[in-house]
A and B are shown apart, each in its own frame.
Chain A
Amino acid sequence: MADRAYTRGLSLPQGLGPGAFFVVSLAAAPWVFNSNAALTVLSLMAVAVVFALSYNILFGQTGLLSFGHAVYYGLGAYFTVHALNYFAVSRIPYPVELTPLLGGVAGLFFGFVLGVISVRRAGLGFAMISFGIGILMGSLALILRHWFGGDGGLAGNPAGGTHLFGLTLTSPLEIYYLMAAWCVVCVALIYFFTNTPLGQMATAVRDNSERVEFMGYSPYQIRVRMHTLAGFFAGVAGGMAAITNGIVAPDALGFVLSGEVIIMAYIGGTTIFFGPVIGAVILSFMQIQLSNYTNAWQLYLGLLFVFIVIYAPDGIAGLLKMHAPAMRYRKLHHLLPAYLLVAVPGGVFLLGLVFLVQMGYALHGAQIFLTQSFTFMGLAFDDHSVWTWVIGAAVTAGAFLGARPGVARARCAWERITVEIKAAQALASRADGDTG
Chain B
Amino acid sequence: MLHTTIFVLVNGLMYGLLLFLLSSGLTLIFSMMGVLNFAQVSFYMLGAYLGFQLMVWTNYWVALFLAPLLVGLLGAAVERYLLNKVHMRGQVAELLLTFGLSYLILEAVKLAWGVNAVNYGIPRSLDFPIFSIAGVSYPAYNVFMMAVAVAIFILLYLLLKKTRLGIIIQAALGDRDMVGMLGHNIAQIFTLVFGIGCALAGVAGVVGGNILVTEPGMALSLLPITFVVVVIGGMGSFTGALAASLLIGFLQNYMMTLNVSLAGLAGLSMGAHAPFYELLNQPLSQLAAIMPYLLMILILVFRPQGLMGKVKT
Contact = CB atoms under 8 A, between A and B. Distances in A.
B85 interface: yes
Interface stretch (A120-128, A226-234, A427-435): A120-128
Nearest to A134: B224
Contacts of A135: 224, 293
Interface string A307-321: 001100100000000
Interface stretch (B96-104, B161-169, B186-194): B96-104
A309 B86 contact: yes
A360 interface: yes
Interface in A113-152: 117-118, 120-121, 123-125, 127-129, 131-133, 135-136, 139-140, 143-147
Q: Which 8 residue pairs spanning A and B have beta carbons closest together? A: A302-B103, A136-B293, A299-B107, A135-B224, A306-B100, A305-B100, A302-B104, A124-B36
B38 to A, nearest CB: 8
A262 B99 contact: yes
A143 B282 contact: yes
Contacts of B86: 309-310, 313
A176 interface: no
23 contacts: A1-B92, A117-B297, A123-B92, A123-B313, A124-B36, A124-B92, A127-B36, A128-B235, A132-B231, A135-B224, A139-B290, A140-B279, A144-B278, A145-B278, A296-B107, A299-B107, A299-B108, A299-B111, A302-B101, A305-B103, A313-B86, A360-B111, A368-B114
Given A121-B313, A129-B296, A262-B99, A139 B289 contact: yes
Interface of A: 1, 63, 65, 117-118, 120-121, 123-125, 127-129, 131-133, 135-136, 139-140, 143-147, 255, 259, 262, 266, 296, 298-299, 301-303, 305-306, 309-310, 313, 357, 360-361, 364, 367-368
B274 interface: no
A147 B95 contact: no
B116 to A, nearest CB: 9
B92 A132 contact: no
Given A125-B313, A306-B97, A132 B228 contact: yes
Nearest to A59: B92
Nearest to B293: A136
B45 to A, nearest CB: 15
Interface on chain A toward B: helix, strand, loop, or mixed SS?
helix
A102 B194 CA distance: 47
A236 to B, nearest CB: 24
A121 B301 CA distance: 11
Which among B91, B293, B313 has the greatest number of chain A C-beta atoms within 10 A? B293
Contacts of B282: 143-144
Interface in B214-239: 220, 224, 227-228, 230-231, 235
A123 B235 CA distance: 13
A310 B297 CA distance: 33
B145 to A, nearest CB: 25
Interface string B248-289: 000000000000000000000000000000110010001101
A125 B293 contact: no
Given A1-B90, A128-B36, A259-B99, A121 B304 contact: yes
B96 A364 contact: no
